[in-house]
Structure 1
Amino acid sequence: MREFNLALLGKWCWRLLVDKEGLWFRVLGARYGMEGGRIRDGGRRGSSWWKDITRIREGGELEGGWFGDNVSKRVGDGSDTLFWTDPWVEGIPLCERFGRLFNLAETKSQTVAEMFLRGWGVEGEDQSSDRWQWWPDPDEGYTVRGAYQILTTQVSATMDDAEKLIWHSQVPLKVSFFVWRLLRDRLPTKANLVTRGILSPTAHLCVSGCGTVETAHHLFISCSVFGSLWELVRSWIGITSVDPTSVRDHFVQFTYSAGGSRAQRSFLQLIWMVCVWVVWTERNHRLFRGSTSSSHQLLDKIKLFSFRWLKSTSATLAFNYHSWWSNPMLCLVLV
């Protein structure tokens, strides 16, 4: 039933994209205001129905970005495609791929056609109208039935699967409680604070400066600044995996990505919790202290914290910090 309700709400998200001339769109725009070509989430003034729709639009549901991951903009003459915020290049908005350049842009609501006239070398495919595409069915577009099939057939970890991994004997209790809140989307991210009416709707952007709404999924998984940390961590550990579309799936997949012994799974479980803790701490330092660490500095913190957590519960570790720094998987053989 939940998946069917999400599919129905997703239909409204689709109409937000393809039916901007409709009376209902103008009414919602007048009530909640427009920003970057989109209707704002409304903050405290938003109805529960509208909040549900904006959560799906922003990828804030437990299923992650199932809607946003399946839509893209096909450019015709470029007059109805926002250069920075519409996903017209490989399905990813340029503001996410080039966050710093986006922040420097004087006008963030230019269309592709306008940028072409300004000499950016951007040109549409032809003189037809721009249009939105639903990747699972480009011809028919979004349907409730098709969305329901996506939601019910995608492989997703249950909350029980993830909850079993929260409590780890070598992880500080405060971090386990933090992860518990993260998996339920109860952290005070900017998006959540706007929804609760604590922040104004204009204060919802990620603290990294990437120009995207700061949801939990964005901050820990898809942010162009913090998200790059996962690739560095995988390189350090020596594993390969992809980033699933939900925080919960990411936790479970990362923990089991190396297969192997229980010790390896326990290690990856710990590393994942170190990573999200370091990201959240860095987020707060940027927000409240104005200090900034690079991705490699954050990786160094992950190495240091993980070693300290292991050391605190096993004073007789058979490896030193240098060995842990250079080859953690090899160190596990010595545990």
Structure 2
Amino acid sequence: MGVLEKIKQIEEEMARTQKNKATEYHLGLLKAKLARYRQQLLEPTSKSGKAGEGFDVQKSGDARVALIGFPSVGKSTLLSKMTNTVSESAAYEFTTLTAIPGVMEYHGARIQLLDLPGIVEGASQGRGRGRQVVSVAKTADLIIIMLDATKSLEQKHLLEVELDTVGVRLNKTKPDVVFKQKPAGGITLNTTVKLTKMDEKTVRTVLAGYKIHNCDVMIREDITVDEFIDVLLGNRKYIPCLYVLNKIDGISLEEVDRLAHQRNTVVISCEMGLNLDYLVERIWEMLGLVKVYTKKRGAHPDLEDPICMRKGSTIEDVCHGIHKSLAANFRYALVWGKSSKFSPHAQKVGLTHLVQDEDVVSIFTK
């Protein structure tokens, strides 16, 4: 029996099984098996045979945004409008056959946009060029799921299912669980919160399903069985997602208003150029980038060429962003801006100081 048949068999058994206290251990074991088979499907252990053709593109700029959607929703048109890259678009499906990169400049940051080929239902199991598309999507800092506003929102659910199946968790955070395997000593399980969605027996059942008999587990969040399995697999990607509904010029104003008020959603029309400026602002906001300006001793700060960092970056990250040798020879830094305790005056700080948006940094070396 092949992996696909095993997956189908488990899914059918889960559908037949009633969800109650008596069956939750059995369902936990089935979910563990299902996750393991799906991982085998995406990451085959066999090395034989001709390698498949991929289309990964070298990551460039300060962040990467992947455009994902079904064929003919306007991804290529959006890329052409927002960057200087021309991506072929036409009135028929599957115009884009490979990943086409473009670069958008905003607030001094260079953001790479990737127009990926349209995916079809079953892409996570290899239909179309689904595996290549989702593997590139896993490298993105932000995923834009592009939808056709004139069609049913069922397309949104189908795309979410495809990405979830391959281990991409949209708009979710990594579960607050510490898991560490050890050579001996059995299973040590500690919790700091009351577990309402599973219990200790379920945890041990799932661990047994993965043949894990010696480990330390610390659960600091009320998680589900699926989230615990994600922790064990350790290869899940937690990526922010923005839902972009295109072709709003083809629906009523009432429907546009209803769609625009949905969470993490932007409504646009590529054809008429409607709301594209707001889309760029939302992309910047969801990427969570901060701009840091540098200042040489005795000179004015360079406000033309900021260093773009992730929120939560430190002075050490700024040093690496300028030159790899700076951190090794670092003495101290002066910081002006929101992160300075003495704003608007400078604060003398070390490598671990957290920078904020529009800070000015002057670095002094040995």
Report the TM-score range of the alignment, normalised by the length of the smaller protein. under 0.3
Q: TM-score, normalised by structure 1?
A: 0.26
Greater relative contact order (CA < 8 Å, ≥ 6 in sequence):
1
Structure richer in helix, relative to its length: 1
Structure with greater strand share of residues: 2
Largest Rg, 1 or 2: 2
